[in-house]
Amino acid sequence: NQTTNIMGIPFPNITMNQTVTILGDVVDQRQSALFHVITGNPEIVMSCQKDQALRSIVDQAGILTADGAGIVMVSRFRGGQLTERVTGCDLLFRLLEEGSQKNWSFYMLGAEESVNKRAVEVIAQNYPGVVVRGRQHGFFTTDEEQSIVEEIHEVQPDFLIVALGAPNAEHWINKYRHQLNARVAIGVGGSLDILAG
Ligand code: UDP
């Protein structure tokens, strides 16, 4: 069985290692279309029940991972093959590790200004090969969005990390998907707070 159905959403049976490998290939191939990674946590699954637009964003995602112990538990209970959680936070740490070897570039969007700033400092200290091409806190107004999008477009990051909460991050990424000029975009929830410590 290739997918595990959770409340109508088919979760592919994909591991952390497979996810990181696929994203490495996406970066290497330098595709122009934005590759949207969704870490499917309970908020996303619940929101999808009512939010058709979110549901179609999830259906079109490049990768949908199972972020949430419940999803993996249900799969096991049904004898399914979804054996591993891939949370936004774990994925970010893995991408920073891999990125430090391969000099991947990042743009960090979201969280409070002090948290965002500190997270970028922590990256510089611990992942010296990673290139942070820009950063922006997550408490901007609608009027400020276009200039943020233009800055991201300008610096062309391999990875756009979006910590705006779920499902806001997913809607935001989708809204600007044709303008961002990043290879991969991922909504990561509270990961910058964790990274900042
Ligand atoms: N956040 C933000 N702008 C907002 C609302 C939230 O940047 O308008 C940030 C918040 O500071 C935190 C993250 O988004 O760093 C949301 O974390 P949470 O754990 O709530 O995310 P979830 O796990 O619900 O996606």
Q: Which domains does the chain carry? A: 22-196 (3.40.50)
Closest ligand 1 atom to residue 137 Cα is 7
Residues enclosing ligand 1, CB less than 6 A?
43, 110-112, 138-139, 163-166, 189-190, 192-193
pLDDT confidence tier of residue 52, bands split at 50, 70 and 90: very high
pLDDT confidence tier of residue 76, bands split at 50, 70 and 90: confident
- Is residue 24 within 8 Å of residue 102, measured between CB atoms? yes
Distance CA(197)–CA(192), nearest Å, equals: 8
Which pLDDT score, from 0 to 100, does residue 117 have?
98
Closest ligand 1 atom to residue 187 Cα is 25
pLDDT confidence tier of residue 58, bands split at 50, 70 and 90: very high
pLDDT confidence tier of residue 140, bands split at 50, 70 and 90: very high
Q: How far is the CA of 20 from the centre of ligand 1 (A)?
A: 23
Work out whether strand 9-12 and strand 3-6 pair parallel, antiparallel, or are unpaired. Answer: antiparallel
Residues near 195 by beta carbon (within 8 Å), at least 6 away in sequence: 92, 93, 119, 122, 123
Which pLDDT score, from 0 to 100, does residue 1 have?
57
Residues near 154 by beta carbon (within 8 Å), at least 6 away in sequence: 181
Q: How far is the CA of 167 from the centre of ligand 1 (A)?
A: 10
- Is residue 11 within 8 Å of residue 71, measured between CB atoms? yes
Which residue, judged by its Cα, is nearest atom 17 of ligand 1?
190
pLDDT confidence tier of residue 78, bands split at 50, 70 and 90: confident
DSSP bridge partners of 149: none
Average pLDDT value for the chain = 96
Which pLDDT score, from 0 to 100, does residue 83 have?
85
- 147-159: average pLDDT: 98
Q: Is the peptide bond before 167 cis (omega within 30 degrees of 0)?
A: yes
Distance CA(149)–CA(152), nearest Å, equals: 5
The token pair that represents 118 in the structure block:
């500190």
Closest ligand 1 atom to residue 110 Cα is 7
Q: How far is the CA of 163 from the centre of ligand 1 (A)?
A: 6
- Asked if pLDDT for residue 75 goes beyond 90, the answer is no
pLDDT confidence tier of residue 79, bands split at 50, 70 and 90: confident
- Is residue 27 within 8 Å of residue 103, measured between CB atoms? no
The token pair that represents 142 in the structure block:
């609608």
Q: Which residue has the tokens 């990181």?
A: 20
- Asked if pLDDT for residue 132 goes beyond 60, the answer is yes
Closest ligand 1 atom to residue 167 Cα is 25
- 124-144: average pLDDT: 98
Name the CA dihedral angle for 183, 189, 193, 196, rounded to a multiple of 10 degrees.
Answer: -20
Please give the full DSSP string across 55-71, using - where no structure is assigned.
HHHHHT-SEEEE-SHHH
Q: Tell if the pTM clears 0.95, that is, is over it.
A: yes
Phi and psi of 195, rounded to 5°? -60, -40
Q: How far is the CA of 80 from the centre of ligand 1 (A)?
A: 31
Start-to-end CA span in the chain (Å) = 39
- 68-91: average pLDDT: 90
Top mutation candidate among 164, 171, 188, 191 for ligand 1, by most atoms within 8 Å of CB: 164
- Asked if pLDDT for residue 13 goes beyond 60, the answer is yes
